[in-house]
Amino acid sequence: MVLIKDGKRLDGRDFDELRDVKMEVSVLERAVGSAYMEWGKNKVMAAVYGPRELHPKFLQDPTKALLRCTYNLAPFSVEERKRPGPDRRSVEISKVTTEALSSVVMLEKFPNTVIDVFIEILQADAGTRCVGLTAASLALADAGIPMRDLVAACSAGKIQGEIVVDLMKEEDNYGECDLPLAIIPRKGEVVLLQMDGKLTKDEFKKAYELAFKGAMKVYEMQKNTLLGSMKRFVGEGGNDDGN
Ligand code: ADP
């Protein structure tokens, strides 16, 4: 499959161009915090429940809260109906998401409790673990749970020998490599880095830099989204048109 034509990608993007990203917080009434994101054709909802007392009690940690992220791909989110329920892939993504977020959430403030984060992929088009993590981090902030910083994510990869940022489905399927990255932007620390495929050292460096830059752009959008939501909350934001 031809992925690059006249120096442009299938959807007309440049190599260092992200898909369109939209984010919104406080979208669910009954969750403590929530976020909805669209990133290209991906549509993702994240909801936070807790902190609340953890049961069964033997799982409780008197020094900190347990963070539990659950990533779920809806049956209607992909081309062929996905069998509902957890599978190896979603268990893996739930685990790496939990680990990434555990390094920013101040879990020590809520001993003996659990904080649940549900990530629902309503429509999938590659890069969903990055969207899920970004949305989950927004939902945690929306819930007012103290965090050292947000987590921002973005992927890069290799298609037809070129290093590009933010692979969409066709590029993920027919490309050579995908490299999702999540960072704690203020510290520049990496909390998730995976690689599916092969890259040379130089290609890796280039892909890493593109993903990092992409995640920093996403971080700016996250901060603006949270700021906008706060302004609305205290009545300083004018109407929803941002006027
Ligand atoms: P990510 O979504 O983080 O890139 P993968 O690389 O594992 O994770 O998946 C790439 C894409 O493949 C997903 O975004 C989704 O569009 C598609 N996909 C994943 N799992 C399935 C599945 N069980 N059935 C159909 N498509 C899937």
Q: If residue 50 lies in a helix (H) or strand (E), which one and from where to where?
A: strand 42-53
Tell me how far the alpha carbon of residue 31 lies from the centroid of ligand 1, in angstroms: 26
| Contacts with 133 (C-beta within 8 Å, 6 or more apart), sequence order | 97, 100, 101, 151, 153, 182, 192
Distance CA(113)–CA(227), nearest Å, equals 28
Residue 10 in domain: no
Residue 27 in domain: yes
Q: What is the pLDDT of residues 39-52, one digit of tens each?
A: 999 999 999 999 99
Neighbours of 232 (CB within 10 A): 16
Predicted pLDDT at 92: 98
Residue 13 in domain: no
In this structure, which residue's CA is closest to atom 7 in ligand 1? 89
Looking up residue 70, the CATH number of its domain turns out to be 3.30.230.70
Residue 5 in domain: no
Please check the confidence at residue 242 and state whether its pLDDT lies above 50: no
The domain in which residue 75 lies consists of 20-232
CA distances from 157 to 40, 46, 219 (A): 16, 25, 20
Residue 199 in domain: yes
Residues lining ligand 1, CB < 6 A?
73, 78, 80, 82, 89, 124-129, 169, 172, 178, 180
| Mean residue pLDDT across the chain | 96
Residue 129 in domain: yes
**3-state SS string for 126-184:** CCHHHHHHHHHHHHHHHCCCCECCCCEEEEEEEECCEEEECCCHHHHHHCCEEEEEEEE
- The distance from CA 13 to its chain's CA centroid, rounded to whole angstroms, is 21
Q: What is the pLDDT of residues 77-97, one digit of tens each?
A: 999 999 999 999 999 999 999
Residue 142 in domain: yes
Given pLDDT bands bounded at 50, 70 and 90, which one contains residue 202?
very high
**DSSP states of 85-99 as a string?**
S--HHHHHHHHHHHH
Tell me how far the alpha carbon of residue 233 lies from the centroid of ligand 1, in angstroms: 36
Given pLDDT bands bounded at 50, 70 and 90, which one contains residue 229?
very high
In this structure, which residue's CA is closest to atom 9 in ligand 1? 126
Please check the confidence at residue 239 and state whether its pLDDT lies above 60: no
Over residues 11-25, mean pLDDT = 98
Question: Tokens 């009545």 correspond to what residue?
Answer: 235
Residue 93 near residue 73, CB atoms below 8 Å: no
Joined tokens for residue 137: 């981090």
Joined tokens for residue 227: 């700021």
Residue to substitute in 88, 166, 172 for testing ligand 1 pocket (most ligand atoms within 8 angstroms of CB): 172
Given pLDDT bands bounded at 50, 70 and 90, which one contains residue 156?
very high
Number of domains in the chain: 1
Residue 157 in domain: yes
